[in-house]
């Protein structure tokens, strides 16, 4: 049986040589921002990873193939097609592969592709989590279960602030997922730097994070690790003002009966309108900030790993395109 994952040549070469590689998601391109800001952001995030000394691997499903690393033309395709491309989480991958379709990968699906490709660091905007009202609706993101059993470090600006952050942290704690704060004791709230909630451990350098990751996985633990990196201060929004805006956007979604996969894109778009575009600017800057930190962590991991010999396809190595 052929490998389920196809690597871009640059990604395959970097992994074979033991270089730092950072996985990136594609939902933020197709569903997170309007065109052309989504394409500009995707290219800027990849460039940020390169400038920090790592190789970017934007993940997606392309014509039914799980892919780690997209070409400029493929990034353009996802950006222009936008929400007409399926939003792909764990449950959707088998269907998209079986039908030969495209899919923009969420945090959960990107973690799966990264793990299959042996990429240990992944940068995103914010993870999904427990939605407000979840005790009644059971609306909990698949991202949390993926973090519970897929060994990938996810660098993010906390969880999306539209969520119940307290319950999200409780869920992660229940499933043994460490939540690290990069140069902070407090869990960030996506657009805002503070939430009033504490992280498990504060880490003040990429090297310290890399040491913890090696120890965590080295003793056989199989969960992911959340690395919470606050949005840069010049772009942070006021936490109290954002809570009022969020309440308004959530109320509008409830009146319009918007639920499931459609909820997060609706809320993000409405928040952008209510903040006069400031939330989109913050989103772009925090993603780039996370990409930079993920590259630094990936470099620290790579610096202490022996150079790997490239596997042959007969031994199950990922396909190169």
Residue 265 is assigned to a structural domain of this protein: yes
Q: Which of 46, 87, 160, 272 is catalytic?
A: 160
In angstroms, the CA 284 to CA 316 distance is 37
Range(s) of the domain holding residue 278 = 5-310
Q: Specify the pairing of strand 65-68 against strand 55-62.
A: antiparallel
Res 132: pLDDT: 83
Residues of the chain with pLDDT under 50: 1, 307-317
pTM of the model: 0.91
Q: Which of 25, 46, 146, 272 is catalytic?
A: 25
Res 306: pLDDT: 52
Q: Check which CATH number belongs to the domain holding 302 and give it.
A: 3.40.1790.10
Residue 100 is assigned to a structural domain of this protein: yes
Residue 320 is assigned to a structural domain of this protein: no
Nearest to 18 by CA among 310, 230, 315: 310
Residue 316 is assigned to a structural domain of this protein: no
Domain count, the chain: 1
Res 133: pLDDT: 79
Nearest to 122 by CA among 59, 47, 169: 59
Check if 160 is active-site.
yes
Check if 25 is active-site.
yes
Residue 280 is assigned to a structural domain of this protein: yes
Res 312: pLDDT: 35
Residue 317 is assigned to a structural domain of this protein: no
């Amino acid at each position: 049986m052929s490998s389920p994952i196809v690597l871009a040549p640059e990604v395959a070469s970097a992994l074979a040589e033991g270089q730092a590689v950072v996985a990136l998601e594609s939902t933020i391109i197709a569903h997170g921002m309007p065109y052309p800001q989504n394409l500009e952001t995707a290219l800027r995030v990849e460039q940020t990873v390169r400038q920090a000394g790592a190789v970017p691997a934007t993940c997606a499903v392309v014509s039914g193939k799980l892919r780690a690393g997209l070409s400029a033309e493929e990034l353009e395709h996802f950006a222009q097609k936008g929400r007409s491309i399926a939003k792909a989480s764990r449950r959707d991958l088998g269907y998209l592969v079986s039908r030969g379709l495209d899919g923009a990968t969420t945090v959960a699906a990107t973690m799966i592709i990264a793990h299959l490709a042996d990429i240990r660091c992944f940068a995103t905007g914010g993870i999904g989590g427990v939605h407000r009202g979840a005790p009644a609706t059971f609306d909990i993101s698949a991202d949390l279960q993926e973090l519970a059993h897929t060994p990938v470090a996810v660098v993010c600006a906390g969880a999306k602030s539209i969520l119940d952050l307290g319950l999200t942290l409780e869920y992660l704690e229940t499933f043994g997922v460490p939540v690290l704060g990069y140069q902070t004791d407090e869990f960030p709230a996506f657009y805002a730097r503070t939430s009033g909630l504490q992280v498990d451990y504060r880490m003040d350098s990429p090297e310290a994070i890399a040491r913890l990751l090696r120890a965590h996985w080295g003793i056989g633990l199989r969960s992911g690790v959340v690395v919470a990196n606050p949005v840069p201060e010049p772009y942070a929004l006021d936490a109290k003002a954002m809570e009022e805006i969020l309440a308004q956007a959530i109320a509008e979604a409830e009146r319009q009966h918007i639920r499931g996969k459609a909820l997060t894109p609706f809320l993000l778009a409405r928040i952008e309108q209510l903040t006069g575009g400031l939330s989109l600017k913050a989103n772009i800057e925090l993603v780039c900030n996370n990409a930079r930190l993920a590259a630094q962590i990936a470099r620290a991991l790579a610096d202490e790993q022996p150079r790997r010999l490239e596997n042959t396809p007969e031994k199950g190595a990922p396909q190169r395109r």
